[in-house]
Structure 1
Amino acid sequence: MTVVSIRKVGDPVLRRVADPVTTFDAELRALVRDLNETLAQSRGAGLAAPQIGVGLRVFAINPDLPGNDARLDHLINPVLEFPDEQEQDGPEGCLSIPGIYLDTKRRLNVAAKGYTEHGDPVQVVGAGLLARCIQHETDHLDGVLFIDRQDEAGRERLMATLREAAWFDAQVKVSPHG
């Protein structure tokens, strides 16, 4: 297993729509292990393959998230369904935008279908933080960052904070996919 460096906002790979996984092989299983190891070291809730520079529809989530009864730690080629219209608004951060948290509106409940690293179909149903995480990571697979989910004032606050961050040295644009 390898801990991989996480790409930061401004890296073009974060704005590309990831390709579906078509081959469930040892290389894919190594990617899932790398995602899980990197996520564990970063102490985050989730990490998508584009965040480590891989343009595939794969993400890892922390199996200890509340409501993750399946103890699922990754999902491949996720497809989301929303069983109702309920929303939640709460703090959200991103490993690609370290140290910044903003209230972000998301759906409260989600049903995510996808595959395991072995190609077995799986479904996870989540609410609250688990639902937020699944939506956030699926956004990464679509080239969307949580900055795209902010209103204009929220984006301006985030940009001002980013310009002051020691690690930040890029141009950031709102995704056309958001």
Structure 2
Amino acid sequence: MAIRPILCLPDPRLRAVSEKVGVVDDAVRALMDDMLETMYDAPGIGLAAIQIGVARRVIVMDLARKDEEPAPRFFADPEILETSQEESVYEEGCLSIPEYYEEVSRPAKIRVRYLDRDNKRCEIEAEGLLATCLQHEMDHLEGKLFIDHLSRLKRERAIKKFTKAARQDAPGAPRRAPEIREKQSGL
């Protein structure tokens, strides 16, 4: 297992549509293991393969709380079969858009079919955080980010902020002091 770098906005690879796996074999399981280790290290609760630059339809997640035993889940080639009319709102963040959070409305319940780590075809009905996390990660497989669910103004502000930061962090760019969130008084 290896920790891999996580792509961040505005990296254009995050907008790629991921390809089907077809069969969960040893290579896909090795990818899942690397993704899980990367997600835990970040730390996060979900990760899509495209976030580490691999355009395959693979997701890992673990919704266990810090005081609970890890409960990793693995999804290959997931597809949503049904969604509820009822919506729920969660404040979402993303490892590819670090330290940026906004409320997003999504279907409250979904039914998903996928291949598990052992290449077994499974179906689950999900609600709450599991439903939100699955939809968030499945968006990544289609080249979508959670900011795409925001108003145009909020989305453009986020993109502008991360594009500017990426330019300043590029090799050869002049170094800057860390961003200070609060306005400083005249000290």
Quote the residue 1:120 is aligned against. 120
Verify: 1:41 aligned to 2:41, yes or no. yes
Amino acid at match of 2:80: L
* Deviation, structure 1 residue 90: 2.4
In structure 2, C-alpha distance between the alignment counterparts of 1:158 and 1:121, rounded to whole Å? 37
SS in 1 for 2:10: coil
1-structure distance, mates of 2:130, 2:98: 20
CA distance in 2, matches of 1:150, 1:159: 12
Q: Which of the pair has the greater relative contact order for Cα pairs under 8 Å at 6+ separation?
A: 1
Query: Which residue does the alignment assign to 1:140?
Result: 140
Take 2:101 and 2:82, find their aligned partners in 1: how far apart are those partners? 24
In angstroms, what is the RMSD of aligned CA positions? 2.1
Query: Which segments of 5 or more consecutive residues in structure 2 lack a partner in the other structure?
Result: 66-70, 171-187
Pairs aligned (count): 165
Alpha-carbon offset, residue 16 of structure 1: 0.8
- TM-score, normalised via structure 2 length: 0.80
The one-letter amino acid paired with 2:7 is R
Offset at residue 33 of structure 1 (A) = 0.4
CA–CA distance in structure 1, aligned partners of residues 147 and 24 of structure 2:
32
Query: Does the Cα contact within 8 Å between 1:102 and 1:154 map onto a contact in 2?
Result: no
1:105 maps onto 2:105 in alignment: yes
SS in 1 for 2:80: strand
Match of 1:9 in 2: 9
Deviations 1:42-78, CA, capped at 9 Å, x for gaps:
121100000001010000011427xxxxx55110000
The AA in structure 2 aligned to 1:136 is: H
Unaligned regions of 5+ residues in structure 1, if any?
66-70, 171-178
% of aligned pairs identical? 36
Larger radius of gyration: 2
Shift of 1:166: 7.0
Secondary structure in structure 1 of the residue aligned to 2:119 = coil
2:76 alignment counterpart: 76
Distance 2:10 2:95 in 1: 13
Say if 1:103 and 1:157 are closer, same or farther in 2 by CA, change over 3 A.
farther
Please give the per-residue CA displacement for 1:68-98, whole angstroms capped at 9, x wherever unaligned: xxx5511000011334201012211000000
Q: Distance in 2 between matches of 1:80 and 1:22?
A: 16
Q: Distance in 2 between matches of 1:160 and 1:13?
A: 17
Give the alignment's TM-score, normalised by structure 1.
Answer: 0.83
For 2:123, what is the secondary structure of its paired residue?
A: strand
Deviation at residue 13 of structure 1 after TM alignment = 1.7
Inter-CA distance 157–32: structure 2 relative to 1 (3 Å threshold): same
